Amino acid sequence: MWSYEKRLQFPVNIKEPNAKLAQVILTQYGGPDGELGASMRYISQRYSMPYNEVAAILTDIGTEELAHLEMVSTIVHQLTRNLTMEEIEESGFANYYVDHTVGIWPMAAGGIPFNSCEFQSKGDAITDLHEDMAAEQKARSTYDNILRLVRDYPDVYEPIKFLRAREIVHYQRFGEALRIVQDRLDSKNFYAFNPEFDRCKS
């Protein structure tokens, strides 16, 4: 069950359209380290997770990622509204425009459509939490790359900076979740059994 709040997690107020920036930022919507993959990763991993605290952090971070998805979509939307045909033709945005006009559709900056291979749900607590920690770092790197490209656009820079900072906090929380899991496993061999599958360690 989810409920919606009709507001953004962090304000986005972009005045000038810029199709070039929209094309690269779109990758954090539907690209390999984007927010769609992030939210689906954590929300999917919850069901076979046997530890309540870990299911809690997957739920709450997965939910926050949906709010980030909305922020990234808003940035792309505000960068593409009121574009002229000349701007679309000259910025290289025509390839996106021909299929989606200025609607929001999940794909990577290089044009590859979103698919669920962007994330993993392995059904193994240690494996999944390592995936989650790596995912947060990959998203942080992507935001760092975007920040270099938008350094002269404060309206875009500020919300991207906020999103980048959240990746670091989430990395920390997943590290704590991994510790919670390991504390409940056999300290001589963390891989003796998979707590999401094996019924007992024998």
Which parts of this chain interact with another protein (CB under 8 A)?
A: 3-13, 53, 56-57, 60-61, 64, 70, 73-74, 77-78, 169-170, 173, 176-177, 180
Contacts of 113 (CB under 8 A, 6+ apart): 30, 106, 107
Among candidate residues 177, 131, 141, the one with its CA nearest the CA of residue 27: 141
Q: Supply the DSSP string of 42-69, one letter for each residue.
A: HHHHTTT---HHHHHHHHHHHHHHHHHH
Instruction: Tell me the backbone φ, ψ of residue 141, rounded to 5 degrees.
Output: -60, -45
Looking at the Cβ atoms of 41 and 170, the one nearer to another protein is 170
Angle (CA) 9-172-23 rounded to 5° is 50
Smallest separation (angstroms) from another protein to the CB of 46: 12
Among left, alpha and beta (phi > 0; psi -120 to 50; other), residue 97 is alpha
Inter-residue contact 14 to 78 (CB < 8 Å): yes
Determine the Cα–Cα distance for residues 123 and 46; give it in Å rounded to an integer: 9
Least distance to another protein, CB of residue 165, Å: 11
Nearer to another protein, 180 or 185 (CB): 180
Whole-number minimum distance, CB 55 to another protein, in Å? 9
Residue number with CB closer to another protein (43 or 177): 177
Nearer to another protein, 10 or 97 (CB): 10
Considering beta carbons, is residue 32 or 45 the nearer one to another protein? 45
Q: How far is the CB of 200 from another protein (least distance, A)?
A: 25
In angstroms, give the least distance from the CB of 10 to another protein: 7
